[in-house]
Amino acid sequence: MGEMAQKIVKTDTKELVEMLNIAFAEEWLAYYQYWLGAQLITGPMRTSVTEEFLEHANEELKHAQWLCDRILQLGGTPVLDPENWNKTAQCKYDAPENPYVMNLLEQNLIAERCAVARYQKICEMTFGKDFETFRMAEKILKEELEHEQEIGDFKEDIIAGIKNQDKIK
Ligand SMILES: [Fe+2]
Ligand SMILES: [Fe+2]
């Protein structure tokens, strides 16, 4: 717990910690959604998509680490029980019941868009009021935007590939 860390924050710390815990739970779910998807994936380009999923999974875990560090600095407690991850998160976990690549890409694209909105919100909450949380949220936002773009690109490439195959036939 950082005494000065809390004193310099010009926003409601309790409300901020609650928001950071929502994001923290969402990051764990995003990590698992990507990681499990990478194990189960079927369909075209699965080797490259698996690599991308594992890379994203590691970044989501890194985001969870940054959020945890900041929650502790602000005197909060990170979600203690994994049972509460889905209850706390507002971007919900989507089980990869259909592991076809296009389906997994779509599920993760929805998750990324939700994450982008989450960090946009945290940036708005902290802008000019809590520089450190703002800096962290801005850094995560940048990565979530990249994730959204990469997943969208894979979707487009696979669709284009399938269309080309049809032409060859
Ligand atoms: Fe993330
Ligand atoms: Fe992400």
**Domain containing 18: what range?**
12-111+129-164
What's the first-to-final CA gap in the chain, in angstroms?
A: 64
Q: Which ligand is nearest to the CA of 62?
A: 1
The verdict on residue 121 lying in a domain is no
Compute the distance between CA of residue 160 and CA of residue 155 in angstroms, rounded to an integer: 9
Largest CA-CA distance found in the chain, in angstroms, rounded: 68
Q: Which ligand is nearest to the CA of 53?
A: 2
The verdict on residue 46 lying in a domain is yes
- How many domains, the chain? 1
Say whether pTM exceeds 0.85.
Answer: yes
Q: Which ligand is nearest to the CA of 64?
A: 1
CA dihedral 104, 47, 154, 41 (to 10 degrees): -10
Q: Which residues contact 133 (CB under 8 A, 6 or more apart)?
A: 9, 16, 20, 70, 74, 122, 126
Q: What is the pLDDT along the chain (169 residues), one digit of tens a residue?
A: 688 988 888 899 999 999 999 999 999 999 999 999 999 999 999 999 999 999 999 999 999 999 999 999 999 999 999 999 999 999 999 999 999 999 999 999 999 999 999 999 999 999 999 999 999 999 999 999 999 999 999 999 999 988 888 887 6
Q: What is the CATH number of the domain that holds 57?
A: 1.20.1260.10
The verdict on residue 4 lying in a domain is no
Q: Which two tokens stand for residue 137?
A: 């949220």
Q: Distance, CA 141 to ligand 2 centroid (Å)?
A: 9
Q: Distance, CA 33 to ligand 1 centroid (Å)?
A: 12
Q: Distance, CA 100 to ligand 1 centroid (Å)?
A: 23
DSSP state of 109: H
